[in-house]
Chains A and B, each alone.
Chain A
Amino acid sequence: MEIEGNVNFSVDYSSISKTNEITVKIILLGDSAVGKSKLIERFLMDDYKPHQLSTYALTLFRYKTQVQEKSVSVDFWDTAGQERFESLHPSYYHQANCAVLIFDSVRKVTYKNLKKWYDELRQYRPEIPCLCAANKIDENFDATQKNFAFPTKNRLPFYYVSASDGTNVVKLFNDAISAAIAYRLNPTDVSDQIMDELETLN
């Protein structure tokens, strides 16, 4: 995604920088008000500076970490409300290395809409790892005793989480980061392989 006038945001998620830092892009998906921003804020605590890119209706959270002695820069992409326009801009999915699909465990409609988000994701990114999470389990603890067919059927790793009391939030995002790195280093989408080929030629 090219963003004019601000070089910092012009990241190529297929390249490895000179400092050998791996850059990965993780996108959050799900209905309005399921708690996407709350979850990422709970994971990052105060240690973040969200960048509101209003032109593109997205919020970017950049997070630096170390995974197995490698420096990793993670960009979490949050929709900033553009989910209200039925579908997300293709650039949202572009070069994503992992997706986290979220629903609200007290609102059934958000669970029913998972299929729509998942189908759109697979249209743009057929192969990337996708994790699924039921949020707000602090409000509906009974949900944790239920088996949800959607993640099982689509073989998505599934998490019961609460952005409010913190349950399993850090685990969810750490797993997402690991999955993103694994995919990033060994992509199976043709488009990713082409990008890597080009990278090698350079």
Chain B
Amino acid sequence: MASSERQWVASKTVGRVIHPRKIGLRLEPLSLILLYEDGVKVRKRSMPIRSLKPTADPRCRAEEFKLRHMTYLASVPAVVLTKLISIAQQVLIGLTIKEAIDKVTEHFTVDKERDLNAVSESELKRQKELMELTFLNNTVSPLDPRFVYDKQITFHRPIGPSDWDEEENDAN
């Protein structure tokens, strides 16, 4: 089961609040499985992905899927759903689950070498969405007992120079 974890802000529905915790993919039958809390307990919801074609635009399918299950998926980033649907598509064309995860993960990883000042607006948006995943994973929200508004850490004495300064002597 490919999965992606937590820290999405709660979405409100009539009468209760859905806190998605974890979402994953099941291949038989093809569906997304959501673990969420509704204020009482952790529940599991299975949402079938019907008639998925390998050639479909995973982003469009993800957005359709999100609209259909808005009550539960409102706060789950579309990029997470897109990634899971892409994995399913790769399995449909014959890759093993591991190969599919590796291939899709590579595509869904922030390109650290690229100058994002010089990419198209849609590519910048995509890269930002991927960064958002790490951001959300590491977020310490005000609801978290570890939260400190003015969190300060003093870093003493760097061990050495950054290798980012290596190429040129003059780093001004």
Within 8 A of B (CB), among A33-50: 33, 38, 45
In the bound complex, do residue B139 and residue A165 qualify as a contact, i.e. CB atoms below 8 Å apart? yes
In the bound complex, do residue B155 and residue A145 qualify as a contact, i.e. CB atoms below 8 Å apart? yes
Nearest residue, chain B, Cβ from A144: B155
Q: What total of chain A residues lie within 8 Å of the partner, measured CB to CB?
A: 39
Are A83 and B140 also in contact (CB < 8 A) when A33-B124, A168-B152 are? no
Are A164 and B139 also in contact (CB < 8 A) when A32-B116, A148-B162, A148-B164 are? yes
| CA–CA, A113 and B118, complex, Å | 12
Say yes or no: is B165 at the interface (Cβ < 8 Å to chain A).
yes
Interface size bracket, B side? 35 or more
Say yes or no: is B134 at the interface (Cβ < 8 Å to chain A).
yes
Query: Which residues of A have CB within 8 Å of B116?
Result: 31-33, 107, 109
In the bound complex, do residue B172 and residue A167 qualify as a contact, i.e. CB atoms below 8 Å apart? no
In the bound complex, do residue B112 and residue A145 qualify as a contact, i.e. CB atoms below 8 Å apart? no
* A111, A154, A160: the one within 8 Å of B172 (CB): A154
| CA–CA, A72 and B17, complex, Å | 39
Convert B112-142 into 0s and 1s, putting 1 for each residue whose CB lies closer than 8 angstroms to a CB of A.
1111111001001001100100110011101
| CA–CA, A112 and B112, complex, Å | 13
Residue of B148, B160, B162 with most chain A CB atoms under a 10 A cut-off: B162
A–B complex contacts, Cβ < 8 Å, 30 sampled = A32-B117, A33-B116, A33-B131, A38-B135, A84-B117, A107-B113, A108-B112, A109-B113, A112-B164, A113-B117, A139-B138, A144-B153, A145-B159, A145-B160, A146-B158, A146-B162, A146-B164, A148-B165, A150-B171, A150-B172, A160-B153, A164-B134, A164-B135, A165-B139, A166-B149, A167-B151, A169-B151, A170-B151, A171-B150, A171-B152
In the bound complex, do residue B161 and residue A153 qualify as a contact, i.e. CB atoms below 8 Å apart? no
Are A115 and B172 also in contact (CB < 8 A) when A146-B162, A166-B140, A168-B151 are? yes
| CA–CA, A84 and B148, complex, Å | 34
| CA–CA, A146 and B148, complex, Å | 25
Query: Which residues of A have CB within 8 Å of B110?
Result: 106
Query: Which residues of A have CB within 8 Å of B140?
Result: 164-166
Query: Which residues of A have CB within 8 Å of B114?
Result: 109
Query: Which residues of B have CB within 8 Å of A83?
Result: 117
Are A147 and B160 also in contact (CB < 8 A) when A107-B112, A115-B172 are? yes
In the bound complex, do residue B134 and residue A139 qualify as a contact, i.e. CB atoms below 8 Å apart? yes
* B113, B142, B155, B172: the one within 8 Å of A153 (CB): B172
B155 to chain A, nearest CB (A): 4
| CA–CA, A147 and B110, complex, Å | 25
Enumerate chain A interface residues (CB-CB to B < 8 A). Answer: 31-33, 38, 45, 83-84, 86, 106-109, 111-113, 115, 138-139, 143-150, 153-154, 160, 162-171
In the bound complex, do residue B155 and residue A32 qualify as a contact, i.e. CB atoms below 8 Å apart? no
B24 to chain A, nearest CB (A): 23
Query: Which residues of A have CB within 8 Å of B172?
Result: 115, 150, 153-154
| CA–CA, A187 and B127, complex, Å | 40
Are A146 and B159 also in contact (CB < 8 A) when A31-B117, A108-B112, A164-B139 are? yes
Nearest first, the 6 A-B pairs at minimum CB distance are A149-B171, A146-B162, A147-B158, A170-B150, A164-B138, A149-B165
A36 to chain B, nearest CB (A): 12
Q: Could you list 5 further interchain pairs (A-B, Cβ under 8 angstroms) beyond the known A33-B116, A86-B117, A168-B151?
A: A106-B112, A107-B116, A112-B164, A147-B161, A167-B151
